């Protein structure tokens, strides 16, 4: 049974196992995920994330691998409240792969943007033109804004110019 008031984090659990303490585990299914309750002495503690929330596993195989790597190879399983998802095993990877492909796409976009941004910064650093003070830059931009209506066919300010966006 999950004990939300008492939790144990991975580092503490790893320390107990490495110290040779007799640590028992109970795998508890709840909804569509699995959690681990660690039994040490008379204490029962739920394995938690770094933020203190109960650590959950969607796949039982992932949980079993986690426990095995820790050195806990015997544990009890409580599946009384476990409710597998309505889909079949073949549907789950397709749904997951769409999410994974979206994450990969965002990651590639982020890398491309980072490369572009770093290139812009390096180009700015390598630019040999003299730097402008704030007053000089404002004066130049004011002159450019004044020239825009003349170039655009004398449109009045605020009607399709850059100053309308501000």
Q: What is the C-alpha separation between 98 and 74, in angstroms, rounded? A: 35
**What is the model's pLDDT at position 89?**
47
The alpha carbon of 36 is separated from its chain's Cα centroid by a whole number of angstroms, namely 23
91 plus 54 within the same structural domain: no
Under a CB-based contact definition with an 8 Å cutoff, are residues 67 and 25 in contact?
yes
DSSP lists the bridge partners of residue 153 as none
Q: CA distances (Å), 118 to each of 79, 93, 127, 132, 139, in order?
A: 51, 36, 14, 22, 28
- Name the nearest CA neighbour of 144 among 88, 152, 95: 152
Lowest mean pLDDT across 10-19, 26-35, 60-69, 146-155? 146-155
Mean pLDDT, the chain, whole residue set: 83
67 plus 38 within the same structural domain: yes
Q: CA distances (Å), 81 to each of 2, 3, 46, 53, in order?
A: 11, 15, 16, 19
Give percent of the chain above pLDDT 70.
80
| Sign (positive or negative) of CA dihedral 28, 34, 37, 38 | positive
**What is the model's pLDDT at position 102?**
85
Domains of the chain: total: 2
User: If you ran DSSP here, which 8-state letter would residue 48 be given?
Assistant: B
Residues 6+ apart with CB under 8 A from 164: 157, 158
Under a CB-based contact definition with an 8 Å cutoff, are residues 16 and 23 in contact?
yes
Task: Find the helix packing angle between 10-18 and 60-70, rounded to 10°.
Answer: 40
What's the mean pLDDT in 128-154?
87
113 plus 59 within the same structural domain: no
What's the mean pLDDT in 128-143?
92
pLDDT in tens, 67-120: 999 999 999 999 988 888 744 444 455 555 667 888 888 899 999 999 999 999
What's the mean pLDDT in 4-24?
88
- Would you say residue 42 lies in a domain? yes
Structural domain for 94, as ranges = 87-125
pLDDT in tens, 30-54: 888 999 999 988 888 999 988 888 8
**What is the model's pLDDT at position 98?**
65
57 plus 44 within the same structural domain: yes
76 plus 91 within the same structural domain: no
What's the mean pLDDT in 132-159?
82
Task: Count how many Cα atoms sit within 13 Å of the Cα of residue 51 in the half-sphere of its side chain.
Answer: 3
The order of strands in the sheet holding 33-40 is: 7-8, 43-47, 33-40, 23-31, 76-82
């Amino acid at each position: 049974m999950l004990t939300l008031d008492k939790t144990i984090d991975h580092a503490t659990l790893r320390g107990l196992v490495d110290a040779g303490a007799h640590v028992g585990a109970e795998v508890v299914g709840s909804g569509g995920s699995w959690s681990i309750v660690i039994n040490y002495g008379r204490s029962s503690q739920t394995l938690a994330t770094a933020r203190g929330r109960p650590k959950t596993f969607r796949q039982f195989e992932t949980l079993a691998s986690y426990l095995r790597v820790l050195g806990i190879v015997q544990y009890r399983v409580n599946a009384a409240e476990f409710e597998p998802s309505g889909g079949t095993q073949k549907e789950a990877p397709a749904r997951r792969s769409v999410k994974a492909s979206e994450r990969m796409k965002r990651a590639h976009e982020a890398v491309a943007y980072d490369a572009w941004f770093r290139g812009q910064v390096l180009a700015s650093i390598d630019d040999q033109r003299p730097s402008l003070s704030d007053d000089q830059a404002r004066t130049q931009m004011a002159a450019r804004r004044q020239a825009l209506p003349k170039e655009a066919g004398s449109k009045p300010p605020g009607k399709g110019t850059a100053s309308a966006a501000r």
